[in-house]
Amino acid sequence: MMQLLRDQARGAPISSSNSQEDRIGQFVLKEKIGQGTTGTVRLGINTSTGGKCAVKIVNKTVTRKRKEARKEIKRLERIRHDNIIALHHWEEDISNIYIFLEYCEHGDLWLFIQKHGVFNEETARKLVSQLVDAVDFCHRSMHICHHDIKLENCVITRDFRLKLIDYGFSIDLDPIPHRRDKSIRIYDSSPAYSPLEILQRKPHDETVDIYSIGVCLYYMLVGRFPFCTPDKTSLDELCHNVLNNDPHFPKGSVSLLGQHLICSMLAKRKRRASIEDIRSHEWFYSVDKQSEEEEEDDDM
């Protein structure tokens, strides 16, 4: 593994041939295509091959962002998985760190849903299955908790494969699973996707990622968050809703099996589904049959 915490700059500094075009090394930086927790993401074009990549640009003069960027690089240099974004390389100059990542043509799930609407259960099942695979790999093989799973951190390739991105908030786990209980005492995350233990700033474990997957699945099928409206719901209101309310499913939006799976992932910590529970859930194997049965009931 490369030693990333270096004092000297690495790679060519960013230059600009005109006001519209930035360059770094062999890459021309084009339009903004995303915004991560640590920096702006722009489309990069390799001037030699024409190949595309996503370039995350992080202001290294901001200590927190610099640390998160270096953490993400360190993570991605170790990870090789079909459903986790690939790191091509990274460079830095006196002002910024440039992280060159695999380019995903369809962008993130949040924007995709805003543009095209919610998914049917067949499509959601394929995407969530891939997200679960990525998270399971993080937990079991890499011993890390992602800690910021959300639709904006799930990007889609041209062939509609899901890739999990943005490891700036990720946390190391004890390699011995039974020693992980309530071992995490860091609370950086996105509130709408966060379980009660994070919202109340209590020690927790990697099962917070399971809760976040449940929120993602709910939004994929319903088109809103289960317990809040962003920018309109206060943190106190969100805590109250998560503590006291069950998710509401508009009629016809989600099959009974889908509702059961989502509720199991959004459950309080001690009752929350495990990765094994999710993978073995009947929704992944009989959702089509369930939908057909509900359509027949409506026709009667």
18-72 pLDDT tens trace = 445 688 888 999 999 988 778 899 999 999 999 999 999 999 989 888 999 999 9
Judged by DSSP in three states, 53 sits in strand
Close Cβ partners of 251 (under 8 Å, ≥ 6 residues apart): none
Distance CA 79, CA 96 (A): 23
> What's the whole-model pTM score?
0.85
pLDDT band at 1 (very low <50, low <70, confident <90, very high): very low
Q: What's the CA dihedral at 137, 139, 144, 149 to 10 degrees?
A: 80
Residue 298 — very low, low, confident or very high, per pLDDT cuts 50/70/90?
Answer: low
Q: Which CATH code fits 109-284?
A: 1.10.510.10
Residue 276 is assigned to a ligand binding site: no
54 with 102: CB under 8 angstroms? yes
Contact between 201 and 187 under an 8 Å Cβ cutoff? The reply is: yes
Q: 183, 174 in Cβ contact below 8 A?
A: yes
What number is the average pLDDT over the span 265-284? 96
Is 59 annotated in a binding site? The answer is: no
CB burial class (10 A; 0-12, 13-18, 19+) of residue 113?
middle
Kindly indicate the confidence band of residue 182, based on its pLDDT and cuts at 50, 70 and 90.
low
Complete edge-to-edge strand list for the sheet that includes strand 87-92? 15-18, 21-24, 27-35, 40-46, 52-59, 96-101, 87-92
Residue 261 has pLDDT above 90, yes or no: yes
Q: What is the tens place of the pLDDT at every residue in 229-238?
A: 777 888 899 9
What is the SS3 assignment for 151? helix
State residue 181's pLDDT score. 62
Q: Is 32 annotated as a binding residue?
A: no
Least-confidence region, from 125-134, 148-157, 192-201: 192-201
Q: Using the predicted structure, report yes or no on whether residue 5 has a pLDDT greater than 50.
A: no
Residue 184 has pLDDT above 50, yes or no: yes
Q: Which of 15-19, 60-64, 96-100, 200-204 has the lowest mean pLDDT?
A: 15-19
Per-residue confidence (pLDDT) for residue 127, from 0 to 100: 98
The confidence band for 288, taking pLDDT boundaries of 50, 70 and 90, is low
Res 235: pLDDT: 87
Catalytic residue selected from 22, 108, 133, 148: 148
Longest CA span, the chain: 72
Residue 8: the pLDDT is 29
Torsion sign (Cα): 128, 144, 211, 269: positive
SS3 for 10? strand
148 is catalytic: yes
Do 70 and 122 meet the contact criterion of CB atoms below 8 Å apart? Answer: no
CATH number given to 15-101: 3.30.200.20
| pLDDT at res. 35 | 84
> What is the DSSP pairing of strand 21-24 with strand 52-59?
unpaired
Q: Locate CATH 3.30.200.20 in the chain.
A: 15-101
What is the C-alpha to C-alpha distance for residues 195 and 225, in angstroms, rounded to an integer? 13
Lookup: tokens for 149: 């799973």
Q: State which amino acid sits at residue 3.
A: Q
152 is in an annotated binding site: yes
Q: Which of 246, 214, 241 is nearest to 230 (CA)?
A: 241
Q: Does 108 have pLDDT greater than 60?
A: yes
With bands split at pLDDT 50, 70 and 90, how would you rate the model's confidence at 208?
very high
Numbered ranges of CATH 1.10.510.10 in the chain: 109-284
Closest CA to 148 of 195, 99, 202: 195
Contact 98, 11 (CB under 8 A): yes
Q: According to the model, what pLDDT value does residue 51 have? A: 95
pLDDT (average), residues 95-115: 96
